[in-house]
Amino acid sequence: MNKSNPIWNIFGQTFSLLGLLISIKLITNYVKPIDYGIYTIYFSIVVFLKNLSVQPAIQTILKFFPEFNIDENGFNKFNQLIRKPVYFFVMIFIIFLIAGIFFQNDYLINFSLIICAFITDSIRDYLRAIQNALKNFRKMSFLTLIPSYLKGIMGVILYIKFPYAESLLLGFIIANFITLIFFGLNDTFKLLQFSKNYTLDIHPLKKFITPLIPHKISSWFFMYIDKYLLLFFLGPTVVGLYTPIYNLLYQIYWLIHETITLNFRPYYYDLVQKSKFSDAFKIFNKNVYIAVSIYLVIVLIFISPLKDLTSLLLSNEYLAYIHLSPLLCLSFSMQMIGYIYETIFYGTSKTSLIFKIQFGVGIILFVLSAFLMQKFDVIGLIIALIICNLIFVIISTFFANKIKIEKNSLK
């Protein structure tokens, strides 16, 4: 097993953020808001497909890897489970691409590109999750940071030559291919090639993963409903103007969330597997304290004059919603804290509870956003996000504390 120092995770997340900033600068300088808005919708479909399939699988891998033995054998066992779905989606991609070319139908070709983007990003996510479970933070960091640079660079290069939203999607695909060739080629071959069959008891896997599928769908709904409401009420141009500042702040928060969580999570799951719940919750509490401290600093930065530095990353056309950044920071702070609490639910196999929480909050967000947007435009949407993320944290905290008390009483 190729363990590496967790400092590689911090390295990867830090330089991924730099890559994100470069990508946002390039996109807002060269891409029209309407095209970026359309690309955002394309990308939301890619994320939906991932949440429907690979993301539940990844959570299952991280939870059950200690039971599968952290070695080459365990790696091959998970490949056996993932291989057939990969081949299925590759066939779907080929069918739609050939049909689109044959019938000269742009919709079919665009859908084939979405499927290809889904396949390449899913394989990268899967390999990255395996490296996290193996505690190989060095390789995991490169699977994270390289695409953060290439997706924006390749997309803008293609867009300059062919100024369409589909060029950004094709740049996304090329970036994933390059990453897999240089940092996951051997692992990809192992995934795709048929090997001996392993006898697996998949009942606990099914029990764990089944509630995750609707949960991931509700999670997608929770994350993208704002884009679709903006599209419905205000059109794709507003989506394109809103998304860069949203993505900039969200990715800052997400990269911090992942930097902290990826360092703690493998050890947390190991302790849960050994029924050392008291030690596991101590690790979890450290995770929360560090995250809250960092999020507080970010909020303070974005209510200070330092927030004006954000304008250096965006062209003037994309500064329309820069004034919303402090409120978005507040919303994301609560959202990421809620995500941290999900670690307890995953670790104790309470996956159905995660779905119930996010589905309920997602419905509230949809109704509240639609109502407030009609009265207060985009600011109404942000207020709805803040309210619902606060509800998300309160409910998650309540159930997490309930599980802590229950598990600690078993000592």
Greater pLDDT, 96 or 275: 96
pLDDT of residue 283: 75
Average pLDDT of 174-192? Answer: 89
Whether the Cβ atoms of residue 56 and residue 122 lie closer than 8 Å to each other: no
Q: Is the pLDDT of residue 1 over 60?
A: no
In the three-class reduction of DSSP (H, G, I as helix; E, B as strand; rest coil), residue 291 is classed as: helix
pLDDT, residue 102, reads 93
Question: Packing angle between helix 72-103 and helix 106-133, nearest 10 degrees?
Answer: 170
Name the token pair of 206.
């099914």
Burial (0-12, 13-18, 19+ Cβ within 10 Å), 72: exposed
* Residue owning tokens 């003037």: 316
Q: Which of 211, 145, 147, 134 is nearest to 173 (CA)?
A: 147
pLDDT digits (tens, 9 = 90+) for 196-224: 666 666 676 777 777 777 777 877 887 88
Report pLDDT digits (tens) over 260-283.
Answer: 777 777 677 777 777 777 777 777
Q: How far is 366 from 197, CA to CA, in rounded Å?
A: 45
For 348, residues 6+ apart whose C-beta sits below 8 A from its C-beta are 272, 403, 407
Euclidean distance between CA atoms 271 and 283, whole angstroms: 9
Give yes or no for residue 306 having a pLDDT over 90.
no
pLDDT tens, position by position, 337-364: 888 887 778 777 777 788 888 888 888 9
Between 134 and 353, residue with greater pLDDT: 353
Rounded CA gap, 404 and 284, in Å?
11
Please, are residues 68 and 76 in contact by the beta-carbon 8 Å criterion? no
Q: What's the pLDDT score for residue 300? A: 84
In this prediction, residue 134 carries a pLDDT of 75
Contact in structure between 341 and 201 (CB atoms under 8 Å): no
pLDDT at 181: 92
For residue 263, the model assigns a pLDDT of 72
Give me the pLDDT at residue 158, please. 96
Q: Which of 156-170, 306-320, 359-373 has the lowest mean pLDDT?
A: 306-320
Of 224, 173, 167, 234, which Cα lies nearest the Cα of 31?
A: 167
Dig out the tokens for 402 from the structure. Answer: 């309930």
Q: Using N-to-C axis directions, what is the helix angle for 137-161 and 7-30, rounded to 10°?
A: 10
**From 58-67, 161-170, 312-321, 343-352, the region with the lowest mean pLDDT:** 58-67
- What is the pLDDT at residue 64? 67
The predicted pLDDT at position 339 comes to 84
Residues 31-83: tens digit of each pLDDT: 999 999 999 999 999 999 998 888 777 777 766 665 555 555 667 777 777 88
For 282, other C-beta atoms within 10 Å of its C-beta total 13
